[in-house]
Structure 1
């Protein structure tokens, strides 16, 4: 929840991905620390023991503590390990971290990671609901996943053409967004479901939709086709509100039919299944005027009246 009361859909990183990122960071940091220590040992060979010890402690603090803090501050929560694993450190409200957040995480990391070999950090991450270690709790931060696999966007199949325009008078204001989401998920996956299970699911969703709208489906229309027709009507209304009253989907003869998408209505227990609603007859195209009926074309009117 941000300061503007906006809910962010962030996915917290769990222990395996965080442990892998930390392992990569530790390998890089320890390799740099060993190289720097060897260089300092050769450069300070002529100094006394106390000076050499002070230099080694300073190099330890600068490389193992100061370097991670500087990297997280400058990269806004990304280190080499987190960048490789697709992770990032953010504040509790989803914003980028600053120096004080990185400083608190680095200071607590000395105790719970370096001094205890990561045992305290692992236990805290397992106990926490969002996988946070003690440094994250004190700093008010959270490690989230930046690369999240997205599901393929499947279009909702259009209704049969003979249902287009049949639900223009239906009141859809009382239908909640959760029911629309369930109907959309069913329509995009109905060809992958078992026919009996899909039919029962479509009938349940149709009953909920009828209870919200107060308009039953036409006689003989399968539940799946009824759901597709109502969803198409809602999409058409949204399009007209966004782009103008003349905008909307158009379906020609034979368009919008997905083979096997809309199963036939099941037969009731006391009689045969009702006959499906036949499509409306197509009106014949207007006859073109014959050459003998008119010798000259009709004058075109532009709607412009010359001044008197």
Structure 2
């Protein structure tokens, strides 16, 4: 709606300018400017504003919604362009007005948006084709909105998270993996948890210089805790059940020599 209003305002301004100036030579220029303006607004208005204004266009801001990545991160320029370029596919199929009145030229078409509507109804996150291709979704932009987090009951998780190096930066793909694992681990058997977690944490065990016999499932949840929950729990973690225990290889060697 906002996009149509902007396009209409531009066209109205050009027509008024031509009418008041009375210069016939500006007619072709005005038509060309109107076509170019329509093209730029139709194809790049949404992508530019979503990339620069944190997933919002003027219309989304007015309606209280925004676009984010499916993992909860802010949308980037590449994803914004891709989801907007595929808007034409979501508007398909188009209906010709000539089918209603034969006097209307067949070039006048109305997008039905049935493809996008069916796609939104059929997906869990209510995504259209552009959102599926770019890995984005539209959410209600509430100030109190927070990413859903899994409940962590194991008292060993927070203490173990303190041993993870502070300079370790979680990548976007790793953050998504941690979120999916924490959400679905309750449906897995302990053996399956260890199998999956061992495969994912094996490179990290060497990087962190952790003991090779560390519980891989516990390490995955500790990584999840450090990524999504540690900032919410400002109080220092009580070692509790991990008092006197260290997952580091150097501490294991020291304990073995003292024994």
TM range, normalised to the smaller chain?
0.3 to 0.5
- Greater share of helix: 2
TM-score by length of 2: 0.42
Larger radius of gyration between Structure 1 and Structure 2: 1
TM-score by length of 1: 0.36
